[in-house]
Amino acid sequence: MSRLPTAKTLDELTQESILRLVAYTDQITNFSEGSTDLAYCRMAASLARNGDLHYRELYRRFTLMNATGDTLEDVAAEYGSAILSGARSQLWAILVPETFVVTIIADAGPITNITVASTTPILIGDSIRIRNGDGSTSETATVTGATPTVITTATLINTAAYAADLVAGNEVMVLFRATVPVGTTLASQVGVNFETLEEVITGDANPIMAGENAALALLDKTRAEATTATERGNIDPRTITGITPAIRGVRSAFNPAYGEGGTDSEDESSLRYRAAHGPTKASQGTLSWYTATAQGANEDILRVVMEEAVLMRTVNLEVLNRSGAGFSVAQTDAIAAYIQERIRDNFTVVVGNITMTAITVTAVVTLTRDGTLEGAFRSASSKIAAYLDYRIWSQGESVLASTLLTNVRNAEGVQAVEVASFLPAADVTVADDSFPTLVGVSMQDKSSGRTINATLTMSF
């Protein structure tokens, strides 16, 4: 029985290779494809390359864990993780316009005179909005004259209607239409200033709600961003103290909710962790990834819904605009292209608009002794809008008629609600790819028969 020869050690093989290379150098000349000489060269190169890669990987790993400063940033960048600078906090700022209760309104030839308790701070050339108690009649006008108690404008379209409301004891208001431009500074109690990101004209969002303590979705508002990147920008509600410098016609400004998203510059510990555990391909394809990427394409996107794909290797997304209205075709195409450039898989991205489910509430109420129909309407509308907040609405959740009824019952100034005539009488089904939005509230005082029937617009 034959025996295998004794295996040579690595040192013996190394010495033998060296001797042969030295002795037969002039004979190692055939490096053609398939030759032994080329195979040995490739093997040696592969081993050397593997050793170099292992060394570099160990060096990178060691440096990532132990380096600091610029060296750490360079190595982290090799992992695809650049150090994060601080982020600026953002918040919603409510803008409350100056309002004036009208006591007398009458045409005088080519002009209309509007009597109020005091016209301060109105000046000639200012823009105002006149509305009746339920907001159903409303128009804008330019001030052509102002005495201490009388505002003069060109003849209004609805003077007779406003006068009739006053005779009936109903509210007629003048709202100051102040323009708050982009970049307006908002001061806060913690010393962090914010700048507005959108231009707003007060009194225009929902005139019947202007100047009231109502739901965020129904008020004049703007997004604002901290002027510095710091975690201190995540301020508490009601920490904004006002506009600096003050804008004439804006009574106050405040933040109804926390500031969010403010961070200090990333520390080295966080950078090391992100570099070592950076995002992988597995993180793509999730709703969170698509939402974050879509919002990078258009900051007016509030939510993203993933639809069941009809075609192979297609991602169907529906997006929700802050205003509740849809994006244009050009905008959805741009969003799709932005996501397409960043997705790693060879999928086609299709983007469309989320269809909103309109909700209208009708109620006949009995008011408390001190309650007013205007106050009850605003309180109920605010509660309903807060309930129908489509920023947090769960997909496929129905709008409960019982909850809408409870919101009206709990409204300020409401003693009772007539259940038999309340609408919607049943729950409203909301599809998986839709969210509810409040479009109108009709409220009637059972005692007097007077009705407020206003169209409302929610936006965020």
pLDDT for the residue 6: 72
Contact 134, 173 (CB under 8 A): no
Could you tell me what percentage of the chain is helix, strand and coil, using 3-state DSSP and rounding each to the nearest 5?
Answer: 30, 30, 40
What digits encode the pLDDT tens for the residues 40-95?
Answer: 777 777 776 776 666 666 666 566 777 788 877 877 777 767 777 788 999 999 99
CA 71/CA 273 separation, integer angstroms: 16
The model's pTM is 0.71
Residue 188, Ramachandran bin (φ over 0: left; ψ between -120 and 50: alpha; else beta): beta
pLDDT for the residue 55: 63
For residue 111, the one-letter residue type is: I
pLDDT for the residue 22: 72
Q: Return the structure tokens found at 372.
A: 């007013």
pLDDT for the residue 19: 74
CA 206/CA 439 separation, integer angstroms: 11
Please provide the DSSP assignment of 313-373 as one string.
TEEEEEEEETTSSPPPHHHHHHHHHHHHHH-SS--EEEEEEPEEEEEEEEEEEEE-TT--H
pLDDT for the residue 184: 97
For residue 454, the one-letter residue type is: A
pLDDT, one tens digit for every residue, the chain (460 residues): 445 567 667 677 667 666 766 776 777 777 677 776 667 777 777 776 776 666 666 666 566 777 788 877 877 777 767 777 788 999 999 999 999 999 999 999 899 999 999 999 999 999 999 998 777 789 999 999 999 999 999 999 999 999 999 998 888 999 999 999 999 999 999 999 999 999 999 998 888 887 666 788 888 999 999 999 999 999 999 999 999 999 999 999 999 989 988 888 888 888 878 777 765 444 556 888 888 889 889 988 989 998 877 777 888 999 999 888 889 999 999 999 998 887 766 788 999 999 899 999 999 999 999 999 989 999 999 999 999 999 889 988 999 999 999 999 999 999 999 999 999 999 999 998 899 999 999 999 999 999 998 889 898 8
DSSP state of 412: T
pLDDT for the residue 5: 63
Side-chain half-sphere CA neighbours of 341 within 13 A: 9
CA 434/CA 226 separation, integer angstroms: 33
Helix axes 36-66, 69-78, angle to 10 degrees: 130
pLDDT for the residue 192: 94
Domain ranges in the chain?
29-83, 87-262, 279-353, 355-455
What digits encode the pLDDT tens for the residues 220-271?
Answer: 999 999 999 999 999 999 999 999 999 999 999 999 989 988 888 888 888 8
The angle at the Cα of 229, spanning 253 to 298, to the nearest 5 degrees, equals 75
Other beta carbons less than 10 A from residue 121's beta carbon: 15
In 250-292, DSSP assigns E strands to 250-254
What is the fold of 279-353?
GMP Synthetase; Chain A, domain 3 (3.30.300)
